Chain A
Amino acid sequence: MQIFNIVIAGVGGQGVLMASKVLAESALASGMDVKQNEVHGMAQRGGSVISFVRIGDQVNSPVVMPGTADLLISFEPLEALRYIHYLKPGGRLVYNKVSINPSTVAAGLAVYPQDVEQQIAAACTNAQGIEALSIAREAGNGKAVNMVMVGTVMKDLPLKEEVITEVVKQLSQGKGVEVNLKALAGGAAA
C-alpha cells in the first residue's frame, strides 16, 4: 500500500504521544510497517506538540513533510491551523473545538484569532470539529480527549476498528480501560 501519513498536533499535556502510540501499535498489530516520531523535551506543559505516524508496506523516513499528510488530528483549533499546511490536497482534518490559550495570549502579548474555525473551513474542505472535552468527561475523565480524537478518526484510517480497540484496551490500566473505551466509542459517534 501507499504510505498513509498522519500528523497529530496539540498542546503539551493533552496526550498527543499516547494517541500516537495507539496508532503505531495498531499498525504493527495489523502487520504493517510503521514509523512514529515526535519531538519532545522542552514541551512540558503548554507548548505546541507535533507527532508523525507513517504507515505502509515499508516506511523509511520518520518525518512527514508539509503537503503530504492524509490525516491531521489536532487536539486544539489553533494548533490545527498551525499545522494545516501538512495536509495534502483533499486531506482529512479532525480537530477538538476546545481552545487553550497560548502563553503569549495569556500574557496579553498576542490575540487568539476569533475566526480560527472559519479559517480552518476555508483551508480544508474535509474538516470536522468535535467537542472532545465534553465527550471525554461523559466517558468519565477529561483527560481522555486523546482517545476521543482517535475514536473519531478510526473510520479514516487504513486500520480495523477492532484492532485499535484491542490496542487501547491493552495500553490502558485499571479504571482507564472502561473510560478509554467509552471515549473511543464517544469519539466514533461524534
Chain B
Amino acid sequence: MKKIISGNEAIALGFGDSGGVFASGYPGTPSTETLEEVARLGEVYCEWAPNEKVALESVIGASIAGGRALSTMKHVGVNVAADALLTLTYTGVNAGLILMVADDPGMHSSQNEQDSRNYAKFAKVPMLDPADSQEAYDMVRAGFEISEQFDTPLMLRTTTRISHAKGAVVPQQKITPQIGEWVKDVPKYVMLPNFGKLKHIEVEARLLKLQEFAETTPLNRIEMRDAELGIITSGVAYQHVREACPDASVLKLGMIHPLPERKIREFAGSVKRLVIVEEMDAIFEEQIRAMGIDVEIGKNKLPLCGEINADILRAALGGTGAVTPSPVAGLPQRPPVFCPSCAHRGLFTILSKLKVFVSGDIGCYTLGALPPMSAMHSVIDMGASISAAHGMAKVNAIAGRDEKPVAVIGDSTFFHSGMTGLMSMAYNGGNALVIIMDNRTTGMTGGQENPGTGKTLQGFPARQVEMVPLVKALGIDNVVELNAYDLKETEAAIKKGLATPGPYVLIDRNPCILRYKIRKPAMIVDQDKCTGCRACLKVACMALGLTATGEKQKVRVDPNVCNGCGVCKQMCKFDAMHELEGENNANL
C-alpha cells in the first residue's frame, strides 16, 4: 500500500522489509527519526549507542555475526565513527552493512557543512544517494545486495531535504531475515599489518569491480530529452533540476561512488552543453573534469555553500525567470530559544552575570551563546567543552592569568565524548569548572533516550548510569549537585567552584520540561509594583514582554506561553511577580 513518509521513515521501513536484523546509531539532525521509526515499527532490534563510533562498531559485530545491519548518524557523526569505517573497508562484511549518513547542506541544524561524499572516496566504499522517499526505501535493499555481492560496507547518504521531506512510497515484497554463519576468519577480520596489506590490494580491486557495476546498474539512469542541455546530478538536486529544466536531458546518478566513467562519457557526448548540479563540494565535477570532459557550468556558477534550489539553478543557467520576491525587511528575528521553564535558563542567567569564559558544547544549551545571554564563547564538537576548557586552563596557568574556565555540557553529550575529556582533566591536573546539565534526555534532537535515562530506544527498562559516582570514578573529588532554578544557590555554587583550585564538577539534575511534560502555573506581573526596570528580561524568556502602552513600559507575562519556573521572579527586586492562581494554560 502507498504511504506518504519521510526519507528517514522510508529507510527504516526499507530496513525492516529487506531482512534487517540489527540497527544502532546516535541521534543527530537530520538523521534521528530513522532509528526512532525502526523502533516504532517494532519488527527489528535497534538501539541508541552512546556515540557513533560505538554504533558503527556494534553494527560491524552484527554483520560479522551474520545479520544485516544498519548504522545511522548525521554527517559529523561519521567523523567520530571514521576510525572504524576506514578499517572496516578493509575487512569487508559478512552480512550486508549499511552506514546511513545524513548531510545538512544549508546548516539548518549543524555546526559545519561537510560533504559526506568525501568519505566514500576516502574509505573507497560504494555510496548511494536517493532523490526521494521511494528511492530511499529501494536503496536500502539495493544497498544490502551491493554490500554482500562486493564484500564491502556501503554508505547510504541523504540530505536534510531527503531525510525530512515526505513523499509517496510503495513498499516491495518483504524479505524474511536470514542470519548467516558466525565464522572465525583471522586474515579477514584481524587487521594486523600483514593481513591489512593484502586487504588493501583487495580494496583497490573491489573499487574497479564496483565501477563496472556502476556502469550498468539501473541506479544510474539517463533521461534523454532535449540534446541541447545535459545535466549530471543526484539526490535532491535532481528534483530541483526537473523543476527548473523539465526538458533537459539528465544523467541521474543514484550510485555516486565510484562514478560510471563510460556512462558519463556517453552522456556528455550526446548533449551540446554539459552542466553538473551538485550541492556543496565539487565531487562529481572534479572527477569528470579529470576524465578530460568539458563542463560548461558547475561550481563556476553554482554555490559551494548552502542548498541549491530551482531559482538558483535558473539563474546559473542564464534564465530570465520572474524576479524572486524579497522578504519584508526589518522584522524582529525569531531564533530558537530555551523553552519556557527550561533549567538551562537559570544557569545561563548567572553565567552571563558572572562574565566568565564558557567553553560550550553541542546541545540545547548552545543557545546560551545567543543574546541577551551571550554566555558561551566556544563550541566546536561533541565533548570539546571539557577538553578545550582543560587546554585553556593550562595556558592560563602558563600565562599567569588567574581565571578558571567553565565548561557546560549535557548528559547525552557527556556520555558521547565528554567523559574521556574529564578523565584527562583529572589525570593531567587540570583546573576547570565543569557543569553537567543532566536533564536525562538528548534534548536538541527531540528527546531521545541515553544511558542515563533508564530506558532503551525500544522502551525497555535499562540500567541507569549514575552521574555522581561516574564523575568520581573518572578522578574528580569535588562533585556537587546543583539546582539551576535557584539563582542564588547557582551563583554561590559557581563562585565556589571557581574559587576552589583543581577540577570541580557541578551537576544539575532537573529533568527536561519538554521531554517529561512538566507543567506549572503561569506567573503574573503586578502592574502597580513593576517599575519597568527590565531586570527580569535578562532571563531571555519568550513568555515575557513589555506592555505596549503607558508612560513607562512595564513587563507582562504571556499566560499562553509561561510555564511558571519562577526564574524571572527571582530577578525582580520589587516583588512584582507572582504565580497565577489556577491551572497551567500554556498552549505551546
Give the interface of A toward B (CB within 8 A): 11-14, 21, 24-25, 27-28, 33-48, 59-63, 65-67, 78-79, 81-85, 98, 100-114, 119, 123, 133, 136, 142-143, 145
Q: Is the beta-carbon distance between A65 and B168 smaller than 8 angstroms?
A: no
Interface of B is mostly: loop
Whether, in the assembled complex, B322 has its beta carbon less than 8 Å from a beta carbon of chain A, the answer is yes
A100-B542 contact in complex given A36-B166, A42-B336, A46-B334, C-beta closer than 8 Å:
yes
Q: Is the beta-carbon distance between B541 and A61 smaller than 8 angstroms?
A: no
Determine the chain A residues whose CB is within 8 A of the CB of B270 once the complex forms.
none
Pick from B310, B339, B443: contact of A46, CB under 8 Å: B339
Whether, in the assembled complex, B171 has its beta carbon less than 8 Å from a beta carbon of chain A, the answer is no
Determine the chain A residues whose CB is within 8 A of the CB of B188 once the complex forms.
none
Pick from B109, B165, B541: contact of A37, CB under 8 Å: B165
- A and B contact pairs by CB, cutoff 8 A, 23 listed: A12-B336, A25-B4, A28-B4, A36-B165, A37-B165, A40-B164, A41-B109, A44-B443, A44-B514, A47-B335, A61-B240, A67-B322, A82-B328, A83-B327, A85-B328, A101-B543, A102-B334, A103-B540, A109-B371, A112-B545, A113-B332, A136-B587, A143-B587
Give complex CA distance A45, B446 in Å.
11
Q: How far is the CB of B243 from chain A (nearest CB, A)?
A: 4
Q: Is the beta-carbon distance between B371 and A13 smaller than 8 angstroms?
A: no
Question: Which B534-570 residues have C-beta < 8 A from chain A?
Answer: 534, 537-538, 540-546, 548, 558, 560-561
Q: A27-B4, A106-B542 are in contact. List 4 more A-B contacts (CB 8 A).
A: A24-B4, A45-B542, A48-B333, A62-B167
Give complex CA distance A57, B545 in Å.
46
Which are the 6 A-B pairs with shortest beta-carbon distances? A41-B109, A41-B29, A47-B336, A142-B587, A110-B332, A62-B165
Determine the chain B residues whose CB is within 8 A of the CB of A123 once the complex forms.
328
A142-B560 contact in complex given A66-B324, A109-B371, A111-B332, C-beta closer than 8 Å:
yes
Q: How far is the CB of B580 from chain A (nearest CB, A)?
A: 15
Q: How far is the CB of B445 from chain A (nearest CB, A)?
A: 7
Interface size on B, residues (CB 8 A): 64
Q: Is the beta-carbon distance between A100 and B560 smaller than 8 angstroms?
A: yes
Determine the chain A residues whose CB is within 8 A of the CB of B2 once the complex forms.
28
Whether, in the assembled complex, B399 has its beta carbon less than 8 Å from a beta carbon of chain A, the answer is no
Whether, in the assembled complex, B161 has its beta carbon less than 8 Å from a beta carbon of chain A, the answer is yes
B218-252 CB contact bits vs A (8 Å, 1 = yes)? 00000000000000000010011011000000000
Q: Is the beta-carbon distance between A106 and B544 smaller than 8 angstroms?
A: yes
Give complex CA distance A84, B309 in Å.
19
Q: Is the beta-carbon distance between A85 and B311 smaller than 8 angstroms?
A: no
Q: How far is the CB of A57 from chain B (nearest CB, A)?
A: 12
B300-312 CB contact bits vs A (8 Å, 1 = yes)? 0000000001110
Whether, in the assembled complex, B201 has its beta carbon less than 8 Å from a beta carbon of chain A, the answer is no
Whether, in the assembled complex, B585 has its beta carbon less than 8 Å from a beta carbon of chain A, the answer is yes
Q: Is the beta-carbon distance between A42 and B164 smaller than 8 angstroms?
A: no
Q: How far is the CB of A3 from chain B (nearest CB, A)?
A: 9
Determine the chain B residues whose CB is within 8 A of the CB of A104 once the complex forms.
332-335, 371
Q: Is the beta-carbon distance between A42 and B333 smaller than 8 angstroms?
A: no
Whether, in the assembled complex, B180 has its beta carbon less than 8 Å from a beta carbon of chain A, the answer is no
Give complex CA distance A39, B585 in Å.
28
Q: How far is the CB of B489 from chain A (nearest CB, A)?
A: 24
Whether, in the assembled complex, B364 has its beta carbon less than 8 Å from a beta carbon of chain A, the answer is yes
Determine the chain A residues whose CB is within 8 A of the CB of B370 once the complex forms.
103
Determine the chain A residues whose CB is within 8 A of the CB of B542 once the complex forms.
45-46, 100-103, 106
Q: Is the beta-carbon distance between A81 and B108 smaller than 8 angstroms?
A: no
Determine the chain A residues whose CB is within 8 A of the CB of B540 once the complex forms.
103, 106-107
Determine the chain A residues whose CB is within 8 A of the CB of B560 once the complex forms.
98, 100, 133, 142
Determine the chain B residues whose CB is within 8 A of the CB of A41 once the complex forms.
29-30, 108-109, 444-445
Q: Is the beta-carbon distance between A37 and B336 smaller than 8 angstroms?
A: no
Pick from A33, A106, A111: contact of B168, CB under 8 Å: A33
Whether, in the assembled complex, B588 has its beta carbon less than 8 Å from a beta carbon of chain A, the answer is yes
Give complex CA distance A106, B534 in Å.
10
Determine the chain A residues whose CB is within 8 A of the CB of B165 once the complex forms.
35-37, 62
Q: Is the beta-carbon distance between B335 and A35 smaller than 8 angstroms?
A: no
Q: Is the beta-carbon distance between A65 and B310 smaller than 8 angstroms?
A: yes
Give the most central of A28, A39, A61, A67: most B CB within 10 Å: A61
Question: Which B102-124 residues have C-beta < 8 A from chain A?
Answer: 108-109
Q: Is the beta-carbon distance between A112 and B332 smaller than 8 angstroms?
A: yes
Determine the chain A residues whose CB is within 8 A of the CB of B193 once the complex forms.
none
Pick from A13, A21, A79: contact of B588, CB under 8 Å: A13
Give complex CA distance A109, B541 in Å.
12
Determine the chain A residues whose CB is within 8 A of the CB of B331 once the complex forms.
78, 81-82, 113
Q: Is the beta-carbon distance between A36 and B372 smaller than 8 angstroms?
A: no
Q: Is the beta-carbon distance between B561 and A100 smaller than 8 angstroms?
A: yes
B345-371 CB contact bits vs A (8 Å, 1 = yes)? 000000000000000000010000011
Q: How far is the CB of A77 from chain B (nearest CB, A)?
A: 11
A65-B309 contact in complex given A85-B325, A101-B558, C-beta closer than 8 Å:
yes
Give the most central of A14, A24, A46, A84: most B CB within 10 Å: A46
B361-397 CB contact bits vs A (8 Å, 1 = yes)? 0001000001110000000000000000000000000
B7-50 CB contact bits vs A (8 Å, 1 = yes)? 00000000000000000000001100000000000000000000
